[in-house]
Amino acid sequence: MKMKKNLHILHTGQPQTQGATVKGRPAAGWIMGISGIVLLALISLLHIMQGEAGLTAERVLQAILQPSGEKEDHIVWTARLPRTAIGFLAGGSLAVAGILLQALTRNPLASASTFGINAGAYFAVVAASVAAPALASSLSLPLALLGGGGAGLFAYLLAGGSRSTPVRMALSGMIVSLTLAAVTSALLLLFENETRGLYLWGSGSLVQLGWGGFLYAWPWIAGGSAAAWFMAKNLDAMALGDEMAQSLGQHVTRVRTAGLLLAVLLAAITVSVVGPIGFIGLIAPHLLRLVGIVRHRLLIPTAFLWGAVIVLGADMFAMMFRSSIGQLPVGAVTALIGAPWLIWLAGRVSRGKGSDVPKSSSQSTGAHLRHVPYLGWAAGLAVVLAALMIGGQAFGGIRLPLQEVVSALFGSSGGSEMSSSLVMKLRLPRTLIAALAGAALALSGLLLQSVVRNPLADPSIIGVTQGAGVGVLTLLVFYPGLGGYYLSAAACAGAVLTAGLVYLLSVRSGLQPAVLALIGMAVSAMGAAIINILVIKSGMSAAAGLAWLAGSTYAKGWPQLPQLGVVLLILVPLALWQAKRMDMIQFTDESSSGLGVNPARSRLIIGILGVLLAAAAVATVGTVGFIGLIAPHAVRLMAGPTHRKLVPLTLLFGALLLVLADFVGRAVLAPVEIPSGLVAALLGAPYFVWLMYASSRSTKRS
């Protein structure tokens, strides 16, 4: 009975109910295998036909079977067939890697993308391209293996190792991926010449200029997939749990180690050739399990076929829009396909399991910080913020003496005209915008966390920031002449639509923090894919696109200040007015109603305020993340849970964080600038890691 229950959880993502049993369907395996071969052949033919030089099916088949040396034959054999062949290998490899990870961790949400393996391999290749280009070209596979394996291992340990749950593992992988993505983006921006060509590849691209990539990858992928197939019986046993596997004669540690190394190898070799392509390891295995294929001897080869079908189909879809949009990365298309799949899986694996996210640590670790009076914290933050805003004016491409900065700011004599112009026209408005945007993002995070009682409800993590970014870029691409308040309206529209989508998808689970975080992660992936497509459509350079996506205060001046200032002048008093209601809705709905509060209406009002604040910030400085996560948590350590105290401190701390990020971005590598959003991510991701670690330790103790 235990064997059936464990198999049911692995293959359906939810507990077994009332005697339900799981039986493999061999007939389904053969049907899906044969249909997969037929569909793969058809899609491969259509895939080869795509391109600027239109070729008929007959001409393609003639070029493959009876080449005569004509121009069309050359096009097929040197450009199109290699692209199709590498797509076949990449899709199959990622599908098999997903199966290995899901079986060995008994986690239906496991894949190379959700475990952070893709992000780790990508980071390692980019870092090597910067530090040692010759090494990167000759040892790309070992580097990708090292990066992917290290990232996956760290995510696994961060989630609690063998005690991790599916949701917690996905969240850990998200944190590792976000952290590595921030560092990778910084490298791409700072070393544009050394990493030229890696931007499109970094979103997953099957573009090939010959057979080199295929010849390099196929022995590894074929050998790794064959080894996985020979482990099929071991995987069937491991899916039942460690104790059951041991009773069946399995050496659990040895099998798990070998299988995880195989999964990392398959993912790493794929990333080293075509870049990180996400979600294939989720879509293909679960699609086959839905039709009843659960035994790995059938599941592995069938998933290889269907993984290839999905990747080639996505790339063919992308090529259909090449003339109107540009060369779309296949990874953006698979994200658009896979994100809804993750949303569906999140609801299944979290159903009936309650919350499984880090709890706020303010109650347990912040008591000693509250010995400082509230006014002391407020005055201290204000002083530090003012000092940083004034002192930061001295740093940048041109270093200014502090005396000249003070003279420029306060109108005293002694400063040069150049210094005064540099401070008053360029640096001061930029710093003020950073302060206002940081305050808006921080307060947005506080409001959203109170609405859903979820410590992970940062605007960027639950998709609001990406939705606002989609709105802004849509306006910039299709209506480039509009700006100013139109950008704010577009950002608000995108943020509201995204927040509404996340809410509707999460409400069936009772807004469980775990489900909300996973759905937000999926919606964020969709938003990032759309933004990537819009960047390509707009013709932005890689550096410009990355800078906007990362969030930057660069070139922000006095014209942008009023629109953000007006939003804060309107919304901050409303947030203070709702502070008492924010305290009350932290209890159950019954308790809140007993205190005279309508919890549904209060959550709606407070949530709208939070979304509008995030949208206003994104419209001004781009997609800055983590500010809305760090500031509320830090402030709770200082002032406790009362929102009337939290709102002012959160505004100050959020402003301080983004001003600090702007200062670091200008000063560290001057005259080269690091986007403030990347600096904020590099500061925020380690905090998120600590939050997961602290929660894991508290879970062990309990």
Band of pLDDT at residue 344, cut at 50, 70 and 90 = confident
- Name the 3-class secondary structure at 252: helix
pLDDT digits (tens, 9 = 90+) for 425-475: 888 898 999 999 999 999 999 998 888 776 666 787 777 878 888 888 888
- Give the pLDDT confidence score for residue 694 in this predicted structure: 65
> Which residue ranges form the domains of the chain, and what is each CATH number?
2-17+32-350 (1.10.3470.10), 378-473+481-696 (1.10.3470.10)
Q: What is the pTM of this model?
A: 0.79
Q: Tell me: pLDDT of 362 over 60.
A: no
Contacts of 324 (CB under 8 A, 6+ apart): none
What single-letter amino acid sits at 349? V
Give mean pLDDT, residues 573-600: 80
pLDDT digits (tens, 9 = 90+) for 179-209: 788 788 777 777 777 776 676 677 788 887 7
Q: Which of 115-119, 193-197, 236-240, 557-561 has the lowest mean pLDDT?
A: 193-197
pLDDT digits (tens, 9 = 90+) for 384-415: 999 999 888 888 778 888 888 888 887 766 66
Between these two residues, 673 and 61, which has the higher pLDDT value?
61
Q: Tell me: pLDDT of 317 over 80.
A: yes
- Give the pLDDT confidence score for residue 659 in this predicted structure: 92
Name the residue among 284, 335, 331, 340 with its Cα closest to residue 96: 284
- Give the pLDDT confidence score for residue 433 in this predicted structure: 93
Is 532 within 8 Å of 548 (Cβ atoms)?
Answer: no
Residues above pLDDT 90, as percent of the chain: 15
- What gap in Å lies between CA 65 and CA 697, rounded to an integer? 62
pLDDT digits (tens, 9 = 90+) for 9-37: 444 444 333 333 345 566 777 888 888 89
- Give the pLDDT confidence score for residue 220 in this predicted structure: 93
| Distances in whole angstroms, Cα of residue 531 to Cα of each of 140, 386, 494, 555, 622 | 28, 35, 12, 21, 12
- Give the pLDDT confidence score for residue 2 in this predicted structure: 42
Q: Which of 29-33, 316-320, 595-599 has the lowest mean pLDDT?
A: 595-599
Between these two residues, 686 and 338, which has the higher pLDDT value?
338
- What gap in Å lies between CA 214 and CA 80, rounded to an integer? 12
The alpha-helical segments, DSSP class H, found in 106-139 are: 117-131, 133-138
The alpha-helical segments, DSSP class H, found in 320-365 are: 330-350, 362-365
- Give the pLDDT confidence score for residue 218 in this predicted structure: 92
pLDDT digits (tens, 9 = 90+) for 157-186: 877 766 666 667 777 787 788 778 878 877
Is 498 within 8 Å of 466 (Cβ atoms)?
Answer: yes
Contacts of 141 (CB under 8 A, 6+ apart): 216, 220, 268, 269, 272
Question: CA angle, 92 as apex, 89 and 95 as ends, to 5°?
Answer: 145
- Give the pLDDT confidence score for residue 511 in this predicted structure: 62
Q: What's the farthest any 2 CA atoms get from each other in the chain?
A: 88
- Give the pLDDT confidence score for residue 499 in this predicted structure: 82
- Name the 3-class secondary structure at 277: coil
Name the residue among 15, 330, 337 with its Cα closest to residue 166: 15
The mean of the pLDDT values for the chain is: 80
- What gap in Å lies between CA 225 and CA 263, rounded to an integer? 9
Q: Examine residue 671 and say whether the peptide bond preceding it is cis (omega within 30 degrees of 0).
A: yes
The distance of Cα 122 from the centroid of its chain, to the nearest Å, equals: 14
Q: Tell me: pLDDT of 352 over 60.
A: no
- Give the pLDDT confidence score for residue 614 in this predicted structure: 86
Is 615 within 8 Å of 496 (Cβ atoms)?
Answer: yes
- Give the pLDDT confidence score for residue 440 in this predicted structure: 93
- What gap in Å lies between CA 146 and CA 125, rounded to an integer? 10
Residues above pLDDT 70, as percent of the chain: 84
Q: Which of 301-315, 577-591, 642-656 has the lowest mean pLDDT?
A: 577-591
